[in-house]
Structure 1
Amino acid sequence: MNKEITSVQNTYIKTLVQLKEKSRDRKKSGLFLIEGAREISLAIKGNYQIDTVLYIPELISEAQVNSLARQSRSLIEISKEVYQKLAHRDTTEGIIAVAKTKTHELRDIQFKSEQPLILVAEAPEKPGNIGAILRTADAANVDAVIIANPKTDLYNPNIIRSSVGCIFTTQIATGSTADIISYLKEKQIAIYCAALQASKIYTAQDFNTASAIVMGTEATGLSDAWLQESTQNIIIPMLGEIDSMNVSVAAGILIYEAKRQRDFK
């Protein structure tokens, strides 16, 4: 018989609320919450370890329960009130998992091809942008996303939500700008910085060799360290009144140009 929790005052539920709300608690415990059947399925596919699954029995089929029982350490039936306390989204799917975080070290990246394509984002802050970048990276099947000088916890619920679970299907590493530049040079991966200075139009650049496309923030762009080590700066022409676009949109344009040149392989 599965355990059942119906009170929002339950000590374990209070602990999970802290995981939902506080980066510090996620980092300390090495645990985070995943909301939704699709996201949980993608996490399992991405080899995330599922610790506990909490669900509203009226909303989950017996077949789903049996499947989840094989993938997690424990199952807990919860009331709608408890679910609403833990849920981040307004929609009610009735299922939440507690999963273990990963370390995201540079040394753990495994390239899918001999000429890898990597997307690097320096100091992104907005969870929505990070999630959108990860979604684009999954759609284009890039080898990895590397986040330099991260400002936001990767397991922020807004990142998981905006990435629609692509955080679990994409290889992600984090590190300092200096460490990432050193890593790319060691692996002989060309560095293409999205920047205004000394740049050429992105469609004129050959991305068929091992390539890292590097994006800065809309507000400040890339740090000097990247510009000094850039193989070639690239630019997307701005044809209207503004001089920049959303970082996730720009990343999509550049990544898909590289994939087009590679015949979408």
Structure 2
Amino acid sequence: MLLISSLQNPKIKFLHQLKEKSRLRKKEQKFVIEGKREIFLAIHGGYQLLQIYYCPTIISNEDVSAIIDNTSSSIDIFEITTEIYQKLSHRSTTEGILAIAKSKEASLDNLDLDNKNPLILVAESPEKPGNIGALLRTADAAKVDAVLIANPRTDLYNPNIIRSSVGCVFTNNIAMGSTAEIIAYLNHKNIAIYGAALQSSENYYTQDYTKPTAIVVGTEDKGLTDEWLYNTSQNIKIPMSGVIDSMNVSVAAGILIFEAKRQRDFVV
């Protein structure tokens, strides 16, 4: 275990750049995790930790040891000063620990669907990390079989996604691809596609989601693109009684996904 006390240390500079730069994360196939819960979830999600940086004035040695004991490979461990941790920390509330982990390739080719009757959440072109994080929390709460992100605009390992998802980026089965690739994948698997849209739509609660199902949500400002609208099994809408005709994408996804869960639980 080594002590690092300088902000100019090359490891600290690299860690800071890894947090800030998506291009570097993709090139190095590494990313930064902050917080005990998130690190534990990453470990249980099969992610390989490479390095741990901790501040002993904030986190106890026992807590650090508990994390290390849960890993199956050797990890480089560094003690850092409070000044360095505050420079690196992304949160206003501190937990005193960060880790560098190896990224996973979130491709459709690597997607493992064990369930013969899957329930899948698809998000087209989500951009705001907060929305992506909320979608992943919803998916985790419903225990969907997969989350597919079509035409991604944001790096999956963006620190804001990890934070806003409270680590659910590690608990979900996630794959990314173009809209065309994901539509082809769903069609190949004979999975019905229900697109959240106003055009040619039926009320969401009138549909049967007990068979293999993908629920697709678009962006809040533009909704789903024509490519999705022309390839859905059925477009669905949430009846709304107020003045506006849209709601936060994660809220809408939650309503639709949990209706599918309700139907499936009733059938069981």
Q: Which residue of 2 aligns with 1:103?
A: 105
Q: Which residue of 2 aligns with 1:35?
A: 34
Which residue identity lines up with residue 63 of structure 2 in the other structure?
Answer: Q
Q: Distance in 1 between matches of 2:68 and 2:34?
A: 17
Q: Which residue of 2 aligns with 1:44?
A: 43
For 1:5-154, list aligned pairs within 5 A.
Answer: 5-70=4-69, 71=71, 72-154=74-156
Q: Distance in 1 between matches of 2:28 and 2:223?
A: 34
Decide whether the 8 Å contact of 1:53 with 1:68 is kept in 2.
no
Which residue identity lines up with residue 38 of structure 2 in the other structure?
Answer: E
Which residue identity lines up with residue 81 of structure 2 in the other structure?
Answer: S
Q: Which residue of 2 aligns with 1:170?
A: 172
For 1:194-205, list aligned pairs within 5 A.
Answer: 194-205=196-207
Q: Distance in 1 between matches of 2:63 and 2:197?
A: 48
Q: Secondary structure at the match of 1:64?
A: helix
Which residue identity lines up with residue 189 of structure 2 in the other structure?
Answer: K
CA RMSD in angstroms comes to: 1.2
Decide whether the 8 Å contact of 1:33 with 1:98 is kept in 2.
yes
Which residue identity lines up with residue 143 of structure 2 in the other structure?
Answer: N
Which residue identity lines up with residue 78 of structure 2 in the other structure?
Answer: I
Q: Distance in 2 between matches of 1:65 and 1:209?
A: 45
Deviations 1:103-136 (A, max 9, x none): 1011222224221000000001100000000000
Decide whether the 8 Å contact of 2:219 with 2:249 is kept in 1.
yes
Deviations 1:83-117 (A, max 9, x none): 11111101111000110111101122222422100
Q: Secondary structure at the match of 1:119?
A: strand
**Range moving further from structure 2, 115-124 or 64-73:** 64-73
Q: Distance in 1 between matches of 2:82 and 2:57?
A: 10
Deviations 1:130-152 (A, max 9, x none): 00000000000000000000000
What is the CA distance between 1:77 and its match in structure 2?
Answer: 0.4
Decide whether the 8 Å contact of 2:57 with 2:82 is kept in 1.
no
Which residue identity lines up with residue 19 of structure 1 in the other structure?
Answer: L
Decide whether the 8 Å contact of 1:194 with 1:234 is kept in 2.
yes
What's the TM-score, normalizing by structure 2? 0.96
Q: Which residue of 1 aligns with 2:231?
A: 229
What is the CA distance between 1:73 and its match in structure 2?
Answer: 1.4
Deviations 1:131-184 (A, max 9, x none): 000000000000000000000001111100000000000010000000000000
**Range moving further from structure 2, 50-59 or 120-129:** 50-59
Which residue identity lines up with residue 187 of structure 1 in the other structure?
Answer: K
Percent identical pairs in the alignment equals 63
Q: Which residue of 1 aligns with 2:245?
A: 243
Q: Distance in 1 between matches of 2:124 and 2:18?
A: 26
How many residue pairs match? The answer is: 264
Which residue identity lines up with residue 183 of structure 1 in the other structure?
Answer: Y
Instruction: Please point out which of 208, 211, 227 is paired with 2:210.
Output: 208
Q: Secondary structure at the match of 1:128?
A: helix
What's the TM-score, normalizing by structure 1? 0.97
Q: Secondary structure at the match of 1:212?
A: strand
Q: Distance in 1 between matches of 2:243 and 2:60?
A: 53
